[in-house]
Structure 1
Amino acid sequence: MVAFGLVSLSADMVYEGMRSISGPFLGALGASALVVGIITGAGEAMALLLRLATGPWADRSGRHWRLTVVGYGLTAVCVPLLALAPALGTAGVAVAAALILLERAGKAVRSPAKSALLARVATGGSLGKAFGVHKALDQVGAFVGPLVVAGVTALTGVLWPGFAVLAVPGVLSLLLLAQLARRSPGLTAVEQPEPDGIERRGLGAVLGVDLPPRFHVFSAASALATAGLMTFGVISYRFVEEGLVPLAAAPVVYALAMATAALAALATGWVFDRSGARVLLVVPVLVAVLPPLVFGDRLWVVLAGVALWGVATGVLDSTVKAQVAAVVPAPRRATGYGVFAAVQGLGAVVGGATAGALVTHHATTLALLVAGAQALALVLLLATVRVRA
């Protein structure tokens, strides 16, 4: 789990470094708040929805390692290429959007396969710990990457060189992954394949209709939480536009969020192994209070909101995966992760577009919509916990 975490640490320096300035960068290229919300929301949705295909593909083919390598490769290539967008004039926004979406497609390719491999590494009751440690190391990269981008931006006065320097950790992530694959040739996602005669194919298998009902209820709750969480692209776009945070400092604010995400992943992973899914009940409560904070008019309020946003993000990207592994049989875990992520993706694209459309002139309406969605998410999570108990 530590080796996988080091790979993710390097790769997340690349992606999260990009993510920390994607909103202001798109704005500098001429995109509106709505366009930023659609692009960043669609990117997160693509990273999640495409797993409907890549998860079952990993289960059927058994090529978990190959899919993991291809996915990390797309991230290592696409993010540094964003440095070229400002030189393309009016086409810059379109090219940047395409690269952001392609990078997120790489996330979709690798994540179900990698999560299935990581769940296989975990033993006994350590699923929460495994995903928590992995996410914590992942978040170290997510903390350092934005700081590197902030430093480069402060030195140069422009954004594009920050993308170029991210090529270095991108190459490092691929070298580490290649070494890990060579050292663990016998590691597979499942101990034994599915018995003969029950290999799942067709649309029903892809959509996971045969997976446990508890899994589907949990997926719906997580999608509602993801929709309310919004993207950092929208959050950073607004606090830069409002003059609360200088452009060069936006990555530093994002690094703050990633630090709290790492701590949240470790803490909730530890609690999950001891108390089960009840620890996840905190997520909709956190998400419900975010809009008035992250879209506040005082810097300390915004920073508090970003820190809580990081906590919610850390849990939604780590400990929830432990719950998926706990309720889905091992031979179907990559499919389960794919379906789960796709449902989350629907929430991401709806949440991103809604936040982008409402944040400038209808922030109160946005806050009420988020609160309502989180109330429903809490009800569904309570049902999941009761079924488990």
Structure 2
Amino acid sequence: MYLANSRAADQASAQAGAKPRWHRVPPNVLALGVVSLVTDISAEMVTAILPLYLVLGLGMNPLQFGLLDGLYAGATAVLRLVGGHAADRWRRLKAVAGIGYGLSAICKLGLLAAGSSVAALGAVLALDRAGKGIRTAPRDALISLSSKPETLGRSFGVHRALDTFGAFLGPLVAAGVLWVSLGDYGAVFVTSFCIAGCGVLLLVVLVRDHPRPGPSTAVPLRAMVGLLRIRSFRRCCVWAAALGLVTITDSFVYLALLRRWDVESTLFPLLPLGTAGTFLLLAVPLGRLADRVGRWKLFLGGHAALVVALLLICGPVGSPWLAAAALVLHGCFYAATDGVLPAAAGPLLPEHLRASGLALLQTGQALARMVSAVFVGLAWTLWDIRPALLLTTALLLVVTLAAAVVRPWEVSR
């Protein structure tokens, strides 16, 4: 259900001499945002150069890259379930999240050790995404449980803004390291590991676990599956997965931009800055807007923005301004969806199973996006990148319109 309108609370705060907005965000949410900021600098350093490294550096064809990109997107799937269930069963949200952050940090050195072996790179990328999968549900559950229900959109928006600031800095740091090291990818991986280690330390020092009500006995695994009996939550999971199945992954968006506008390879790591900068600016405003007008409406609006972005990339006009507009719309897509969906789904779940439920939701998305990446890679290999993107965009538009008509749950004020 939605608890979307915090206007009365905001007016009461104003009459009492309200503090600045940042001061009204729970300290634990800010702490988790700082951890994500540092961690995302590390992660986006690798993500920014990975397509270039794999396609141009190692000479992978689109299908091979699609398989690895799908693995990168989908390796989180099962581990999200494990992380969410372990956090609820042991009631140790912070500890389980810390395991995930630590695993991802170690994998940055694994990329260096893998060399040019496709199998080894795939294994390291899977472990890196496994770390993300383990930590995501406990982290989002901590954000949800540390916030008031009527301000969940704002809390997730603030967290995603800090997270995205790290994503904005990551490509800049990667480009700087490549410049200083004269194009040495290994230097990027080592620097990324050091920054990721700092993120783990910040988690230990700054973040507090959250005591939760619920049964005194350990949460059984069947309780997680039982969450799908909640009709509104089940519909939420189904539609989120359906949309993920026709959502093009970031790497293909940037490779399409590289191909269409003949971007120099040295500038390729900077393309995500357009997405990240827009996400950074809009995450908090759109999170607050979602609390007011409805989170599901905004979630679908984000997918509509992605449809327009892809049409600009594949359209007949090749103006550089359209490339910039596509990156801005890509950032709008993330600002309207990334934190809005868990903010919408959180209140549908009991508190003692919050991490498990969010893990189920995120698992469906991860598996769907894995299939999407493989499909786009195969279509690119068979028909070239433009027909592949146009087909996927058409499917995304159809599913978005269907979701707008059916609606997975009734909006409640």
Could you state the TM-score of these two structures normalised by the residue count of structure 2?
Answer: 0.84
Following the alignment from structure 1 to structure 2, what is the Cα–Cα distance between the partners of residues 347 and 167? 29
Following the alignment from structure 1 to structure 2, what is the Cα–Cα distance between the partners of residues 322 and 26? 35
* Equivalence for 1:58: 87
Following the alignment from structure 2 to structure 1, what is the Cα–Cα distance between the partners of residues 149 and 226? 25
* 1:335-350 matches, cutoff 5 A: 335-350=356-371
Whether 2:274 is the aligned partner of 1:290: answer no
Question: 1:5: Cα distance to partner?
Answer: 0.3
Whether 2:376 is the aligned partner of 1:358: answer no
**Which of 129, 135, 139 lines up with 1:110 in the alignment?**
135
**Which of 200, 213, 216 lines up with 1:174 in the alignment?**
200
Matched residue type, 1:176: L
Matched residue type, 1:291: L
The 8 Å contact of residues 220 and 380 in structure 1, kept in 2 or not, is answered as: no
Following the alignment from structure 1 to structure 2, what is the Cα–Cα distance between the partners of residues 49 and 298? 42
Matched residue type, 1:222: A
* Equivalence for 2:19: none
Question: 1:273: Cα distance to partner?
Answer: 1.6
Matched residue type, 2:99: V
* 1:196-235 matches, cutoff 5 A: 199-202=219-222, 205-235=223-253
Measured against aligned partners, the alpha-carbon deviations of 1:109-128 in whole angstroms (never above 9, x if no partner) come to 11111111111111241101
* Equivalence for 2:403: 380
Whether 2:100 is the aligned partner of 1:48: answer no
**Which of 2, 13, 37 lines up with 2:41 in the alignment?**
13
Following the alignment from structure 1 to structure 2, what is the Cα–Cα distance between the partners of residues 2 and 73? 20
CA distance 1:281–1:329, shift in 2 (3 Å): same
* Equivalence for 1:188: 210
Whether 2:274 is the aligned partner of 1:256: answer yes
* Equivalence for 2:337: 316
CA distance 1:57–1:294, shift in 2 (3 Å): farther
* Equivalence for 2:394: 371
Following the alignment from structure 1 to structure 2, what is the Cα–Cα distance between the partners of residues 81 and 243? 33
CA distance 1:78–1:195, shift in 2 (3 Å): closer
Following the alignment from structure 1 to structure 2, what is the Cα–Cα distance between the partners of residues 154 and 227? 37
Following the alignment from structure 2 to structure 1, what is the Cα–Cα distance between the partners of residues 251 and 128? 15
Question: 1:298: Cα distance to partner?
Answer: 4.9
Following the alignment from structure 2 to structure 1, what is the Cα–Cα distance between the partners of residues 186 and 263? 19
* Equivalence for 2:188: 162
Question: 1:217: Cα distance to partner?
Answer: 1.8
Following the alignment from structure 1 to structure 2, what is the Cα–Cα distance between the partners of residues 264 and 349? 27
Question: 1:304: Cα distance to partner?
Answer: 2.2
Matched residue type, 2:359: G
CA distance 1:374–1:200, shift in 2 (3 Å): farther
Structure 2 alignment gaps of length 5 or more: 1-28
The 8 Å contact of residues 288 and 374 in structure 1, kept in 2 or not, is answered as: yes
The 8 Å contact of residues 80 and 165 in structure 1, kept in 2 or not, is answered as: no
* Equivalence for 1:271: 289
* Equivalence for 1:71: 100
Measured against aligned partners, the alpha-carbon deviations of 1:273-329 in whole angstroms (never above 9, x if no partner) come to 222222223023123233333456554333322222222123332111100112222
* Equivalence for 2:7: none
- Count how many residue pairs are aligned between Structure 1 and Structure 2: 377
CA distance 1:59–1:76, shift in 2 (3 Å): same
Structure 1 alignment gaps of length 5 or more: none
Measured against aligned partners, the alpha-carbon deviations of 1:162-187 in whole angstroms (never above 9, x if no partner) come to 22211232121011111024xx3xx3
Identity %: 27
The 8 Å contact of residues 150 and 250 in structure 1, kept in 2 or not, is answered as: no
Q: Larger deviation: 32-41 or 151-160? A: 151-160
Measured against aligned partners, the alpha-carbon deviations of 1:108-165 in whole angstroms (never above 9, x if no partner) come to 1111111111111112411011100000000010000111101222341343322221
Following the alignment from structure 1 to structure 2, what is the Cα–Cα distance between the partners of residues 342 and 274? 28
Following the alignment from structure 2 to structure 1, what is the Cα–Cα distance between the partners of residues 334 and 211? 26
Matched residue type, 1:13: I
Could you state the TM-score of these two structures normalised by the residue count of structure 1?
Answer: 0.89
The 8 Å contact of residues 283 and 312 in structure 1, kept in 2 or not, is answered as: yes
* Equivalence for 1:4: 32
* Equivalence for 1:95: 120
Following the alignment from structure 1 to structure 2, what is the Cα–Cα distance between the partners of residues 314 and 272? 11
Q: Secondary structure at the match of 1:289?
A: helix
